[in-house]
Structure 1
Amino acid sequence: MECRPACAACCIAPSISSPIPGLPEGKPAGVRCVQLTEDLRCAVFGLPQRPAVCSSLRPAPAMCGGHRDEAIAWLTRLEVSTAPA
């Protein structure tokens, strides 16, 4: 499955605990990644600075749903269900 153009749900909904260029402490859930460009593309895609968690994430029908709002909702539910107590 290919990423949906202009979605970027995976760059907004989940938290990232590893350093990202411009965010040495990572990013909290629900916050737009600083590496997300205006046209909703990753500025560090394919570069060694891209966090491993981002590189390993693969789009899938269950995660992406039928549109961006479904993807954000799914990833938000995942974030909540896997957050430390």
Structure 2
Amino acid sequence: MKTESMNCRLGCGACCIAPSISSPIPGMPNGKKAGERCIQLDERNLCKLFGDESRPKVCSDFSATFDVCGSTNAQALALITELEELT
């Protein structure tokens, strides 16, 4: 698999759905469970907090890579779900 960085695919949202997030998120003070859609993900699968200082650090620190995000949105969801299950 390729490990180089890539630009996020707008409307993917896999990193906002597949992993559990233990950090508080505005509107989700206890974070979120794996597979649970983040409340801050809009109907177009875009983060409502992108660029906002209230966005959790764990979200801001995430960088898309081909080995995590694959070539399609469906592949990203499957890969991140698998990584979540392995950890």
Query: What TM-score do you get using the length of structure 2 for normalisation?
Result: 0.90
Can you list the C-alpha shifts for 1:15-44, whole angstroms capped at 9, x where unaligned? 100000000000001011000011111111
Task: Point out 4+ residue stretches in structure 1 off by more than 6 angstroms.
Answer: none
Q: 1:35 aligns with which of 37, 40, 48?
A: 40
Q: How does 1:1-85 map to 2 (within 5 A)?
A: 1-82=6-87
2:3 aligns with: none
Q: What is the aligned length? A: 82
**How many angstroms does 1:13 deviate by?**
0.3
- Name the Cα RMSD after superposition: 0.8
**Gaps (5+ residues) in structure 2?**
1-5
**Gaps (5+ residues) in structure 1?**
none
Identity among equivalent positions (%) equals: 54
Q: Distance in 2 between matches of 1:66 and 1:80?
A: 21
Query: What TM-score do you get using the length of structure 1 for normalisation?
Result: 0.92
Q: Distance in 2 between matches of 1:49 and 1:18?
A: 12
